Chain A
Amino acid sequence: MVGSNRLSSRILFLYVPLALFTVFLLFPFYWMLIISLKPNSLLLNTKVNPLYLTEFTLRHYRYLFENTEFPRWAWNTAVVTFGATLLSLTCSILMGYALGRFRFRGGNLMGTAVFLAYLIPPTLLFIPLSQVVVRFGIYNQYWALILTYPTFLIPFASWLLMGYFRTIPRELEECAMIDGASRIQAMWRIVMPLALPGVLSAAIFSFTLSWNEFLYALVFMGSGQMKTIPVGTVNDLIRADVFQWGPLMAAAVLGSVPVAIVYMFFVDHYVSGMTAGAVKG
């Protein structure tokens, strides 16, 4: 009696809301996928049920590779994403470590300032940044984005890492330094392996944001061959008021794949718990 009661309340309060939520979240992806696979004849046909596929075609994908610069966009996006992520991660690790570990004059103030910087909307920041990009002579080059993305990646990533570094007992490093390590060695051999879940979270965060970024990519690197996937898709597949829904959605599907892979691979493999047993448990 008690058991069945609990089961029905679990279904009502746990599984039903979760299922609704999942459907709500996944529906846009489903919609995107079926549109990318539908022949043009069915796309705007109101007589057939739009929710499932009655015919199937890959011609939108072929169009993407044969009639647009999609491979080039993907390459651009990848270069910028890896560059910006690597740069942001390096800076954030050093910064998060310093803010999390050292007590120095103005340390707290700096921490707060970094966080405030994160609150400035990129839509404001891109105006002065475009000046910087032009004067540096890196307009429409990879560097334009590799150097500007960190402006919003570093603040968040270093805050995240600062919090993570603080969870790692200070004694571990101190012990390593007494054992014969320099601070850099202690950081690299003791702190980094233990901070891996935090570092990966920061990496995933940076990767996703860089991969999907639109505004800076449009303004700083939006012409000719240098487009990224989001910019190229919107620029070349929407012509005035003509939306090429098929190729648009195909590009969106392909654009989401790397992000999905990154999440699948890392989130599953690195869920904390590595610090267990370090200190008295």
Chain B
Amino acid sequence: MAEVIYDHVTKRFDSVVAVNDLTLEVKDGEFLVLVGPSGCGKTTALRCLAGLEEVTSGDILIGDRVVTHIPPKDRDIAMVFQNYALYPHMTVYDNMAFGLKLRKVPKQEIDRRVKEAAEILGIQDLLNRKPRQLSGGQRQRVALGRAIVREPQVFLMDEPLSNLDAKLRVQTRGELIKLQRRLGVTTIYVTHDQVEAMTMGHRIAVMNQGVLQQLDTPENLYDRPANLFVATFIGSPAMNIFPAKVVSGDGSYRLVAGEVTLEVPPSHRSRLADYVDREVLLGIRPEDLEVVVGSEAQRGDTVRLPVELIEPLGAETLVHLRGPAGTLIAQGEPRIHLNPGDVVTVRVRTEHLHTFDPQTEMAIF
């Protein structure tokens, strides 16, 4: 077990910068998720740590050892690949024992570790099978087992669940979390699935175009996104974003977008001082737009908007509203009765508003 440090790591492929000046510290025993859209550099960052890619500049440390130029076999890590990469010509047992044999671990010790890992993963009965005789879920377990028996300092996982079907994925996700908490091994987990990121990680590093956008706990990432990218990437359905003008008067601030006027809560006012009479990007999460059935008096936090479309999802209903600039999605109660064309009152939880600088796209609050 060890901490992992990326120290100003840059990786270039010819003219493409895959990872751009990444500085990141993963704590001992932490489960860190690297998340971002495809091509954001998360897998490259992981492969640099594994030693499968040579970094262009910067250093990588595992524990207190600089491993930047050390070959993969000497880094004391184990990796689970997206397609599992089981050795097809070896049995499950040999697959798991392969790394230990190479390290000249005594036979009895190998046997003990393989059996122990097999028991943890519930694959004792599969040890004599070949990978082609296993189901997707079983293969995934074997790949995991192969990593566990090594007892490495760091686990690297590259989208290990993305080849499983939806149900199995949710189940395995839970098991993986429990396993990591139990073994306490520092784990770096790459995914493009933000639900996996939110549920699994102690902390999440959001990347885009090779640049680390934000590194924080799931709660903070959700409630205090550092910039527009993080705000729209985390959360489903995505945060509603539209331009609004900052207007001040009588010591209060209002955000005005077309017909919609929203009062800025007092706690956030000071941050908007520089933006008076300028446009900012206003962000509201769908669950912070409450569709109020029945007529209610207009207040500083309510707006009247026409309904465009209803999407009943069962546990919730997504209400598409015609907003000041395009569609706004509100998360309504289940079994809500609305028809397209109805004009409804929407209450905005103004304490959860987000604003972003339109030029830098950085969060104002």
Contact = CB atoms under 8 A, between A and B. Distances in A.
Interface of A: 169, 171-172, 174-182, 185, 190, 193-194, 274-281
A172 B71 contact: no
Contacts of A181: 73, 102
18 contacts: A174-B81, A175-B79, A175-B146, A177-B71, A178-B75, A179-B73, A179-B99, A179-B102, A181-B73, A190-B87, A275-B88, A277-B130, A278-B85, A278-B131, A279-B83, A279-B84, A279-B85, A280-B139
Contacts of B89: 193-194, 274
A280 B102 contact: no
| A181, A190, A193, A277: most-surrounded residue (chain B CB, <10 A) | A277
| A180, A276, A277, A279: most-surrounded residue (chain B CB, <10 A) | A180
Contacts of A175: 79, 81, 85, 87, 146
B134 interface: yes
Interface of B: 50-52, 71-73, 75, 77-79, 81-89, 98-99, 102-103, 130-134, 136, 139, 146, 150, 163
B98 A179 contact: yes
Contact of B73 (A177, A193, A276): A177
Contacts of A182: 71, 73
Contacts of B146: 175, 179
Given A276-B132, A277-B131, A280-B163, A178 B88 contact: no
Contact of A171 (B81, B136, B163): B81
B195 to A, nearest CB: 21
A172 B103 CA distance: 18
Contacts of A190: 87
Nearest to A276: B132
Contact of A178 (B77, B131, B139, B163): B77
A181 B133 CA distance: 26
Nearest to B80: A175
Given A178-B73, A277-B130, A280-B139, 6 more contacts: A174-B85, A175-B87, A178-B78, A193-B89, A278-B87, A280-B83
Given A174-B72, A280-B136, A180 B102 contact: yes
A38 B78 CA distance: 70
Nearest to B96: A179
Nearest to A193: B89
Nearest to A185: B102
A176 B78 contact: no
Contacts of A180: 73, 99, 102-103
Nearest to B149: A179
B102 A178 contact: no
B79 A178 contact: yes
A279 B139 CA distance: 9
Nearest to B101: A180
| A169, A177, A193: most-surrounded residue (chain B CB, <10 A) | A177
Contacts of A172: 85, 87-88
B134 A277 contact: yes
Contact of B52 (A174, A185, A277): A174
4 nearest A-B pairs in the assembled complex, by CB-CB distance: A277-B132, A179-B99, A279-B83, A171-B85
A190 B85 CA distance: 11
Contact of B133 (A178, A194, A275, A277): A277
Contact of A176 (B77, B98, B130, B133): B98
A137 B2 CA distance: 62
A278 B77 contact: no
A165 B39 CA distance: 26
A276 B84 CA distance: 13
A182 B146 CA distance: 18
B88 A194 contact: yes
Contacts of B103: 180
B73 A280 contact: no
| B82, B83, B133: most-surrounded residue (chain A CB, <10 A) | B83
Contacts of B78: 178-179
A175 B83 CA distance: 11
Contacts of B150: 179
Contacts of B133: 277
A36 to B, nearest CB: 44
